[in-house]
Chain A
Amino acid sequence: MAGLRMTVGVLAVLGALLDRPDTELYGLEIVRASGLEPGTIYPILQRLRGAGWVSDRWEDPEPARAEGRPPRRYYRLTAEGRAHAVHALQHGRDRSGLGRLLAPPHLPAAPSTEAGPA
Chain B
Amino acid sequence: MSGHGALATGDSNNPGGSGLRGRHATARSRLGPARGPRSLRWVRSLLPGEEGTAWWAEVTSCLAETPDPGQRRQYMHSYYRSVPQLLWTSWTAQIHREAPALAGVKYSSIKRKGTDMAFASPEDKFGIKLQSEPGPKTIDQSYSVLLGIVVIVLGIIGFILTGFTNYTEMTDHSIFGLFRTNGFHNTVYIILGLLWLLGAFALTSAGNQGMNIAVGGALLIVAVLGFLGYWSLLSIPPGVNGDNILDLAVAVASLIVGGGLLSAGSRRSA
Interface residues of A (CB under 8 A from B): 1, 3, 26-28, 31, 37-40, 42-43, 46-47, 50, 58, 65, 67-73
| Bound-complex Cα distance A3 to B111 (A) | 9
| Bound-complex Cα distance A70 to B105 (A) | 37
A47 with B61: CB separation less than 8 A: no
A69 with B9: CB separation less than 8 A: yes
Q: Which chain B residues border A38 with CB–CB below 8 Å?
A: 59, 62, 75, 78-79
- Interface contacts (Cβ under 8 Å), in number, total 83
A73 with B58: CB separation less than 8 A: yes
The list of the 7 closest CB pairs from A to B, nearest first, reads A68-B5, A39-B82, A39-B78, A37-B78, A39-B79, A43-B89, A70-B61
The reply on B120 being an interface residue by CB < 8 A is no
B61 with A72: CB separation less than 8 A: yes
What string of 1s and 0s marks CB contacts (under 8 Å) between B1-23 and chain A? 01011111100100000000000
A47 with B78: CB separation less than 8 A: no
New A-B contacts (7) at CB < 8 Å, excluding given A42-B86, A43-B88, A70-B64: A39-B82, A39-B86, A42-B82, A68-B6, A68-B7, A69-B64, A73-B57
| Bound-complex Cα distance A70 to B64 (A) | 7
The reply on B115 being an interface residue by CB < 8 A is no
For residue A38, give the distance in angstroms from its CB to the closest CB of chain B.
5
Residue of A nearest to B63 (CB): A38
B86 with A71: CB separation less than 8 A: no
The reply on B125 being an interface residue by CB < 8 A is no
